[in-house]
Structure 1
Amino acid sequence: MSKLSFLAGAAVGYVLGARAGTQRYEQIKTQANKVWSSEPVQTKVSQATDAAKTKAAPFVADVVSDAAKATASKLRDVKDSVGGEKDEDLPPTLHRGTDGKLHPEHNFGPGPGKLP
């Protein structure tokens, strides 16, 4: 949030500086750097960073962990379905060949001689 505010301020400073000339732009840039580098601003930035790490990290870790478990479960189901144990679950457009691999059916469409 603070970086976004800083970037917005920098963009406004750039526009104002470009209109006022290079010298004014340099003045605005110098002031912006002083404010950003000031102790109170850096203290707040540090506090916000620490808060984000301590409060958001466990939440993000839980969400990622749950998503990974759900994805692994889905992949296991797909593997079982494709692995030959559940061929009846295959869509009608796929069949298992004599080589054990899945092959698409080629008997779809309007048929030979029926195209415009």
Structure 2
Amino acid sequence: MRYRLVFVAGLALGYVLGTKAGRERYEQLRNSARQVAQNPAVRNTAETAAQQGREFAGKAYHAVSEKVGDHVPDSVAQRVRSMRAHSTNGRADDWGTSNT
């Protein structure tokens, strides 16, 4: 909750300061951001970082798949059933029903 409050306060402060700065400053910042985004060095760096992230995610997925295999679905299903039994206290499960 604290982080949400700080986020909302920052959002409000940014809005107030942004409205005081006016449209000219907004346009100036937007043009600066566009120039940075169009810089070939920045584009190459961003693409390299994205490619490395995709490669890392793929390697991590394969490593986890090899180590865990088909054990996860059964153990997760058993854990969910166990949690559901403890939390319902004999009441029927209302997941997937409209309680509105």
Choose 1 or 2 for highest CA Rg: 1
Which structure has more relative contact order (CA 8 Å, sep 6+)? It is 1
Question: Which structure is higher in helix share?
Answer: 2
TM-score of the superposition, structure 2-length normalised? 0.48
TM-score of the superposition, structure 1-length normalised? 0.43
